Structure 1
Amino acid sequence: MQSVTQSLSQGLNAFFAFIPQLIGAIIILIIGYVVAKILQAVVSRVLKSIGFDGWMERSGIKQYFDRADTRQTPATILGKLVFWFVFIIAITMATDALGIQQVSAVFSQLIAYIPNIIAAVLILVLAGLLAQFVAGLVRGATGIDVLGTVAQAAIMVYAIFAALTQLGIAVQLTAPTFLIVLGAVALAAAIAFGWGARNVAQDIVESAYARRGEAREKIERQDGSAEDRPTARPTPRKE
Structure 2
Amino acid sequence: MIRASRQQESQQSVTVHGMADLMTSLAVMFLLLFVAVPWRPPAHQLPVDQTDSPAELTPVASILAEELRPFGLAPEQVDASELMVVMPEALLNFEFGRSTLSAAALRYVAEVMPIYAGAVCGAIRDRIESIVVEGHTDDVGKDAANLKLSQARALAVLVASVQAIEVADPASAGCFQSLASASGRGRQDLVYIGRRIDRDQSRRVVFKMRLRTPHSPAPSTLPSSSPLAQSS
Bigger fraction of residues in helix: 1
TM-score of the two chains, using structure 1 as the length reference: 0.23
**Larger RCO, structure (CA 8 Å, separation 6 or more):** 2
Bigger fraction of residues in strand: 2
